[in-house]
Amino acid sequence: MALRVKLLVGSIGYATLVFLGTAGLGFVVAPTVARAAHLFPIETDAEAFFSLLTLKAVPVLAGLSTAAAFSYEKIIRLSLLLRVAVYASTIVLIWVLGAAIAAVMLG
């Protein structure tokens, strides 16, 4: 029973970390990269664009982060380096998919 509770708590924690990672990617990393690449003439435009996109995608990001929790049991069997790689790629994939859906809804 304790193992099952530990697995459930770990899955919930993983889903939360994935969601927070996607929020950090959308609100911090993406605007910074866009500013550095000079994609927007005004710095505030990059922040506004990615903030709107991320906020519009929050329901999708939350749902996909919850779905990612189902893979937690398989992820904990990997080495630490592979876990970090899977976590980072999951965040990027979920944010890109959520941002694409949000862009379609906005357009």
How large is the C-alpha radius of gyration of the chain? 16
- Percent of the residues in the chain that have a pLDDT greater than 90, as a whole number: 93
CA distances from 75 to 1, 33, 35, 98 (A): 20, 29, 34, 22
- Determine the 3-state secondary structure of 107 from DSSP: coil
Tell me the whole-structure pTM to 2 decimals: 0.91
Q: What's the pLDDT tens digit per position in 58-88?
A: 999 999 999 999 999 999 999 999 999 999 9
